[in-house]
Structure 1
Amino acid sequence: MKLHCDVEVVSRRLPTLGMRNRGKGVRAVLSVCEQTPRSQLPGPPRACLLVSTLKDKRGTRYELKENIEQFFTKFVDEGKATVRLKEPPVDICLSKANSKHLKDFLSTVRLAHRGCGVNVQLSTLAPVKASEFEKFKTKMIITSKKDYPLSTSFPYSLEHLQTSYCNLVRVDMRMLCLKNLRKLDLSHNHIKKLPATIGDLIHLQDLNLNDNHLESFSVDLCQSTLQKSLRSLDLSKNRIRALPVQFCQLRELIILKVDDNELMQFPFKIGQLTNLRFLSAARNKLLFLPSEFKNLSLEYLDLFGNTFEQPKVLPVIKLQVPLTLLESSARAVLGKRIPYDSHSIPFHLCEDLDTAKTCVCGSFCLRSFIQGTANMNLHSVAHTVVLVDNMGGTEAPVISYFCSLTCYVNSTDTLK
């Protein structure tokens, strides 16, 4: 039985000698091998653990029977585990393994440690072939349809996969099994829809979907593990008309590119993207910027070629006096940060709360508000600003909301 993963063998004697381990794993093939042919010894075969690397194909052998001090499997679902041996006193640290294969392998090692019979075919002690290590590729770039693998699978160890100019109309589900993937480049294809299971790629940091046929970015992706991992997202040259409110839950985003789409507005909670530093949304159909845009702190901003409207002189007044029960309740829930979900209140009320507007005073309003617009110099939120138009302008209209007449009167200067 074999396992492909990264391995680091850490000697527990090094600290006593004032030495440190180098702290980096290497690609390896682990095998549970039979030390003595069954024909020569009665009973279950004695098994050992063989760790082979590209530099040492013959491998290093470790006795298993009654020789394991402890298993560390807290992160086994992430493809990580450690086997602590008694003799020699080393920790065999495993990482970047297929989680299912790792669990099966550890079960076999545990049986071998107990001296029980192993119900799998044990490997031989023969040197590992160099071809075994080809499965350890971490980067694959495919830039033509003829090179796209149809009959063979992608190496599960891939961390960077690019499949551009391959005429893909959907995301290949085989890609979604690559649990170590950190960068996925599907640019220059014909993809129309993204599967929600992209959110299962827990290490994905860079997603490039430039030049496809996308019309939306789903709420499911915004609420997946991408919230914690995604740093860079390129949606340029698609057909996206709107990004969902939940898009702003991708709070680890540093780079966002949405050039050459059909966006008419940003999500109004865009100010929650506190890590965002690079924002490019040139050549869309933006009419104005949301009020929370003022909360961004960017290094680079490009809004060239949008159809920004001139601020309206008169505000839009939608005040309700007295406030409805729904309005009062919504303001109380949001103001006191009371948690809510579709299990505690009806789903349509959750949507209302999710889309509540933020007043300039920091409180919230649902359907009772005053709406006004004013020009904002984009240099107030970005160090480098690409000109908004051919006239050299760096201003854009920002929409603001006021929960009461008092807030509007006190903030009149912001609308001049």
Structure 2
Amino acid sequence: MGAVLHTANPRLSDKQIAFTIAHAGSRILFFEPNLAELVARLRPLLPGIERYVLLAERGTIAPDVADTLNYEALLASEDGALTWMSFDEKAAAFLCYTSGTTGDPKGVLYSHRSIVLHGMAAGLSSAFGFSAFDVIMPCSSMYHATAWGLPFTAAINGCKLVLPCDRMDGASLADLINEEGVTFSGGVPTIWTLYLAHLDTTGTGVGNLKRLVIGGSAVPRAMAETFRAKYGVTVLQLWGMTETNPLGVISTPSPLLMAEGEDFANDLPLTKQGRMQFGIELRIIDGDGTPLPWDGEQAGALQVRGPWVVDRYFPDIEGAGSDGWYDTGDIGTIDRFGFLRLTDREKDVIKSGGEWISSIDIENAAVGYPGVRVPAVVGVYHPKWEERPLLVIETHEGQAVTADAIRAHLETKVVRWWLPDDILFATVPLTATGKIDKKALREAYRNQLA
């Protein structure tokens, strides 16, 4: 019908959800039964919505949302004939919003052309390597960069698609993977932590699962090694963002990498986000805007450009510069193999006594300690050093972990002046896209070391 699909994020605050719906100019709201209470609460904030449509079996109603239409009933009322609309390939198709951790969410508009190009590139052997024999289950929501573009890549390659909806606990994931014959899945690390815990406690197998792509935050080395050694599942790291549709880099091997030896080729992808894919250009620049060499040592601001990289935010807010380079807000290095390693977000890097500390490196070291479920490092005010690292740890249920044990473990992994000044045990808050909410942590513990 030529309409633009805006996937609203139900994990945002009510105010932010209403903002994105109004900002997008959305007119028809489709929702599932498990979100009926949320929709009823939001309705007074959505004067621009003309119709509400319940995605459910015929006869199902949403009593809290008046005058709701039923999707299946609407389909049944039609004669089944479909006339495909004809429109320009650059016409708008999909509207996704950023998570809004640094202000109001920003809209990123994908065209039909960018979605198809992205889907074709993602399916290449140097990327996900799909064939029609694959069964793909994205465990990231459609509001999160169109589920990382996996539904479209699946369609282009003729793959079976499995959608888990809100069944993201370890047991449900295991059931779906085994029952549906899933061969490939993707999601943030926290999801796979739950999945591995379920496998470990129940002895359940992984079925036909062969590959996982993990993004959103760095892949814990222990997780990747467990999947490979115990279950024969290859873990690929992915870096991207809403603004890149989201494909940026994937940690697939290359001939140049393999020439260094199998052990080296197997180890490097565990420590870096991945290498450039077809259609994407990367560079790192210093504070003066000068491109830095690909030596794996010099870190700079990461910039990206390509045919599916945002050039401006919806409706008309500047995104990339005039030369097409988009500033990602990440700090990283690129090595001679073309592999990107993110050392931090610009807003998360810790400056202590004039020297930089990588929160990501400390987190990667901490997550390898038994019992650690989610580690999070933030910089908080220090009267002498300006900022010092604070480590907050969420442990696995029933696991006893002490601050002294964590500190002793970290002393063997990071330089001494990087060691956290304090280690706390608490639930680690997550953003609407499953990432660690460091803004909330900084606010909660801003005076911890004062």
What is the TM-score normalised by the length of structure 2?
0.22
Larger % of helix: which? Answer: 2
Higher relative CO (Cα under 8 Å, sequence separation at least 6) belongs to 2
Q: Which has the larger radius of gyration?
A: 1
TM-score of the superposed pair, with normalisation by structure 1: 0.23
